[in-house]
Amino acid sequence: MNKKRVAIQGTRASFHEEAAYKYFGDDIEIVECVTFKQTCEAVKHNKADYAVMAIENSIAGSLLPNYNLLQEFNFPIVGEVYLHIQLHLLALPGVKFEDVKYVHSHPIAIRQCNDFFEDFPHLQVLEKTDTAACAKNIRENNLTDTVAIANLTAAKMYDLEVLERRIETNKKNFTRFLILSKESVESKDNNKASICFQVGNTIGSLAKVLNLFVENHINLTKIQSMPIIGKPNDYNFYVDLEWEKENDYDHCMRKLLKVVVNLAVLGEYVKNPMK
């Protein structure tokens, strides 16, 4: 059987690759993409079967532009995976911290280490496409004044030393990744959904929705509002829901249809633990 082709934002040894392996196992083909949009395009043009997309981080918060990609490409979410993110400063062997002038990394990784860099204001922190590519660049261009914030897989792959370990602001640092595909997966095991809707601009309209969740024993795990582009006063609400009994969810969704506008189910899938 052909291997599953999984598009990731970033290169080999990036956190997206780690997330892909954690979700699918090792027997997959990785399709490297520079941007999140390119991962969706890879699925659209049949260059990949799945895309893995970070959506939120426990220190840096939501990746808001990725909510717009969910809308734009309209691919169903077929799964999720959480990754414990541990960030290290990697340098060429022999480089001393005093010699370092530049820090390269992905913006999500940089935001997770803000506290560390407050103590070293002379360091120039530069945003790049992905953590592993920064490690690769240091090795390939023999950069002795630059460090990368990346993981231990990148350190090993590019033969770099760990100059500082675990520089993330909070050690309980998790990123949630969504798994997107062209086809949704209907399964009795599904116990989580991501939905999107708008509510009228009237008193209590969102409260009505929240009450529906309570009445139907639905656990809300995330709510994110995003302005609708071109309609500055209107918002999309992105909500993640979990249930124990499928009937509760079905019943709740039927009721929800009557109180919200433009209800869309972005995906139904099996919830994954944060570990």
Q: Is 63 in the site for ligand PPY (CB under 6 A)?
A: no
Among 51, 69, 109, 167, binds ligand PPY (CB under 6 A): 109
Residue 207 beta carbon to ligand PPY: minimum distance, rounded to whole angstroms: 34
Interface map 171-200 toward ligand PPY (x if CB under 6 A): ----x-------------------------
Q: Is 15 in the site for ligand PPY (CB under 6 A)?
A: yes
Q: Is 89 in the site for ligand PPY (CB under 6 A)?
A: no
E-strand spans in the chain?
4-9, 28-33, 50-57, 61-62, 77-84, 88-91, 102-105, 124-127, 146-150, 161-164, 174-181, 192-198, 219-228, 231-242, 261-269
Looking at beta carbons only, is 136 or 271 nearer to ligand PPY? 136
Q: Is 167 in the site for ligand PPY (CB under 6 A)?
A: no
Taking a C-beta distance cutoff of 8 angstroms, is the pair 213, 264 a contact? no
CB contact set of 98 (below 8 Å; sequence gap of 6+): none
Among 14, 153, 181, 216, binds ligand PPY (CB under 6 A): 14
CA distance 217 to 48: 37
Q: Which of 66-74, 106-114, 184-192, 219-227 is the region at the interface with ligand PPY (rule: CB under 6 A)?
A: 106-114
Nearest to 48 by CA among 25, 75, 15: 75
Q: Is 10 in the site for ligand PPY (CB under 6 A)?
A: yes
Q: Is 51 in the site for ligand PPY (CB under 6 A)?
A: no
Residue 260 has which token pair? 């919200």
- φ, ψ for residue 98 (rounded to 5)? -65, -25
Taking a C-beta distance cutoff of 8 angstroms, is the pair 259, 98 a contact? no
Contact residues toward ligand PPY (CB under 6 A) are 10, 14-16, 54, 85, 106, 108-109, 130-132, 175
